Amino acid sequence: MTAAISRLPAAIAIAALCASPALAQRGRGAGGDANTAAAAAKPTPRAPDGHPDLSGVWGGAAETVKAIDPGQSTRILFPVRTGPDDKRIFDEMDRAAKERQAAEPNKPPYKPELLGKVQLLSDKRQFNDPSFYCKPLGVPRIGPPNQIVQAPTLVVLLYQGRNTFRTVPTDDRAHNPDADWTWNGDSVGRWDGDTLVIDTTKLVDESWLGADGWFHSNKAHVVERLTRKGDALTWAATVEDPVVFTKTWEMTPRTLRLNPNPKVLLEEDPPCLEQDGPHIVTDDHH
Amino acid sequence: MKQISWVGALAMALLGAAAPALAHHSLQSEYDINQSITLKGTVTKVDWVNPHVYVYLDVKDDKGSVTKWAVTTLPPGNLRRGGLTRDLLGYGETVSILAFRARDGANLAFLRTITFADGHKLEIWLGDASKENP
């Protein structure tokens, strides 16, 4: 890539890669790469109560991005594999995304009579996906946290996207029977050996489980499992939804490495203001 | 033209930030890549927001009448990882913008290049970094 950049005649090329947590983690699997294995081989720090200390910023190797100098010509490329015809680049983005989705082996186990609804929502996702219109991703679509702050009876999960937080009590309390339905639900945590288990109910049925029209009911029950081994954190989640699923859906686990910069801070995510919806004129979608 | 080195864009991306860019709508559904347009005008506002940054432009014709345009681009997280900040998008300046028009005929377009009065350019585009885009 560096060589390619040096060929650019006038501008400086900077490939600004995708900001999506989901995409950024794609292909990294459940700790399969060598760097993750090396991170997992390190000692696991423990809190004074003996549980693994999950605290830290998880994911990637953040570096401070220096602002370019005013007056400096710059090229920023959002990476898309293109053919020789630049005129097809918008098409190409959709096609590549659809191929990835079609190849996704782990789809939720919807009841057969609901598959038509899933397809319809998927086909019209540009008008239906709540996240398109600045609503929260919600649990579990939001995925693993970007940062964890662990206290003796409380774990705080921080997500940079849309400046989201979750507070998960670990003091053996039960679910709040009076909790209202929300996007991140009512969560309680407990330790199962060295794994933090987060049990979440009361999720609004407005959120989706994925961009492919994966809706759920307000009876969804999500169990997340966070396991730290060395400097690697694995997030696994299951979704039970007796209204829409034939069985429990086990989501594909993701493993993140501890951010190597101990001083790194999550950045504030700018506000979300959707302005494109009224101008969408076709059903083309990713 | 001052050269800068490659920045750790991938590493920053792995941290996970901003709105999920590819989870947002298809560009094909909103913009026509066969309708390129060059807009010359004054930047009146920069909306540094998810899911897409917007630049607003007053375009004056030969008779002095002003037409307002909106030009959108990548999410702010992508621009930030590319080294841009909101103050570099030309607020208050007279610029020339190459963009692709919205299919619905609105005064809306998807940005490709901003050329500033001093000649420097910001190209914010999509493509394969292993080859130069035409």
Mean pLDDT is lowest, of A25-34, A202-211, B120-129, for A25-34
Convert A73-94 to b/e letters by CB count within 10 Å (16 or more is b). bbbbbbbbebeeeeeebbbbbb
A&B contacts, CB < 8 Å: 295
A160 inside 8 A of chain B by CB: yes
Chain B CA closest to residue A14: B82
CA A4, CA B128: separation in Å to the nearest integer? Answer: 10
For an interface test with B, the pick among A5, A7, A36, A74 (most B C-beta atoms closer than 10 Å) comes out as A74
pLDDT at res. A280: 82
Q: What tens digit of pLDDT does each residue of A97-151 get?
A: 778 778 888 999 999 999 999 999 998 888 899 998 999 999 999 999 999 999 9
Confidence of residue A170 (pLDDT cuts 50, 70, 90): very high
Query: Are A93 and B126 inside 8 Å of each other by CB?
Result: yes
Query: Are B127 and A86 inside 8 Å of each other by CB?
Result: yes
Which residues from chain A sit within 8 angstroms of residue B120, using beta carbons? 71-73
Confidence of residue A42 (pLDDT cuts 50, 70, 90): very high
Task: Provide the chain A residues 93-132 that lie in CB contact (below 8 A) with chain B.
Answer: 93-94, 97, 126, 129, 131-132
For residue A189, report the phi and psi dihedrals to the nearest 5 degrees.
-120, 155
Question: Under CATH, what is the fold of the domain B30-123?
Answer: OB fold (Dihydrolipoamide Acetyltransferase, E2P) (2.40.50)
Q: Between A179 and B22, whose confidence is greater?
A: A179
pLDDT mean across residues, chain A? 86
**Smallest CA–CA separation between B30 and chain A, in Å?**
5
Neighbours of A116 (CB within 10 A): 10
pLDDT at res. A88: 77
Q: How far is CA A257 from CA A64, A166, A254, B77, B125, in A?
A: 18, 21, 10, 21, 30
pLDDT at res. A240: 98
This complex has an ipTM of 0.82
